[in-house]
């Protein structure tokens, strides 16, 4: 079972919140999430570069989507474009 757990809130322009992804009681990785005032129907996700490869899996994307109960938009650096191959498969 995959769990998503909010850990902290970072007071920046978009008020990032940090979340952990946990499987079998072990931390798999973490990501930042925020809301965009202009697109309230989506949740914006910014992956932590140190744990990106561990979370680059459809099952984690589905768990994050289900946790927020809405579509999400990934914000990634161009060097991580291989992520799109996982999403479109």
What is the predicted pLDDT for the residue at 45? 84
Q: Where are the domains of the chain?
A: 2-88
With 0.95 as the threshold, say if the pTM is over it: no
Rg (the chain; Cα; Å): 13
**Where does the chain have alpha helices with state H?**
52-55, 58-68, 83-88
Q: Which H helix or E strand runs over 29? A: strand 26-34
Using an 8 Å Cβ cutoff, are 32 and 46 in contact? Answer: yes
Asked if residue 28 has pLDDT above 80, the reply is yes
- The mean pLDDT of the chain is 77
């Amino acid at each position: 079972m995959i769990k998503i757990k909010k850990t902290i809130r970072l007071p920046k322009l978009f008020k990032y919140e940090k979340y952990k992804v946990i499987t079998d009681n072990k931390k798999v990785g973490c990501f930042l999430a925020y809301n965009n005032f202009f697109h309230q129907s989506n949740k914006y996700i910014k992956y932590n570069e140190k744990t990106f490869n561990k979370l680059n899996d459809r099952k984690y994307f589905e768990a994050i989507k289900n946790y927020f109960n809405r579509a999400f938009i990934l914000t990634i650096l161009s060097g991580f474009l291989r992520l799109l191959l996982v999403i479109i498969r």
